[in-house]
Amino acid sequence: MEKLAVIKIRSSISKSNLINKSLRVLGLKKLYSCTIINDSEVNRGILKNIESVITYGEIDANTLSKLLIKRGMISNKKRIAASEQDINAFCDSFLKNEKKLNELGIKNMFNLHPPIKGFEKKGKKAPFSLKGAFGYRGKEINNLLERMI
């Protein structure tokens, strides 16, 4: 089972209650916050409901390790103090569903910056399939995450 990286890129002000509740379930409170979830039918249904507010896709081990090193926080607002080799080994086992972020005490919410050099050509107002920013990206989420870390 793969893992999906979900990033909130648009505000949820004046959106329906369904969208606001779904964002709360995923833990996406702030703009440009990211969370990692399992790729399941239930989660895909939730993502389909809030597709106009988020972007998502499959994350790889290299990007996940960079995300944990730069933006990973322990529950008491401290950075992760582990070596890069330990984090790389953890990322491989995490993506294979052998370990969870909770085991190390890592929060499953990462605060990111807006992307360097901005979003795609049409910005936040069009879906990714039409050269915009929101919606399903597939493996292209890794390029966006590297620009946002």
Residue 57: predicted pLDDT: 95
Residue whose structure tokens are 């069009």:
126
CA–CA distance, 86 with 105 (Å, rounded to integer): 15
Per-residue pLDDT of the chain (149 residues), as tens digits, is: 689 999 999 988 888 999 999 999 999 999 999 999 999 999 999 999 999 999 999 999 999 999 998 888 887 778 887 777 888 888 888 888 888 888 777 888 899 999 998 887 888 888 888 888 899 999 999 999 999 99
Residue 8 pairs in a beta bridge with 54
CA–CA distance, 109 with 118 (Å, rounded to integer): 22
CA–CA distance, 6 with 37 (Å, rounded to integer): 8
Judge contact between 105 and 20, C-beta under 8 A: no
CB crowding 52-69: b at 16 or more within 10 Å, else e: ebbbbbbbbbebbbbbbb
Query: In this structure, are strands 135-136 and 54-58 parallel, antiparallel, or unpaired?
Result: parallel
Count how many domains the chain has. 1
138, amino acid identity:
G
pTM metric for this prediction: 0.91
Burial class, 7, CB count within 10 angstroms (exposed 0-12 / middle 13-18 / buried 19+): buried
Q: What range does the domain containing 110 cover?
A: 3-148
Residue 35: predicted pLDDT: 95
Percent of the chain with pLDDT over 70: 99
Count of beta carbons in the 10 Å neighbourhood of residue 80: 17
Q: What's the CATH number where 38 sits?
A: 3.30.1390.20
Residue 120: predicted pLDDT: 79
User: What are the pLDDT digits (tens) for 28-63?
Assistant: 999 999 999 999 999 999 999 999 999 999 999 999
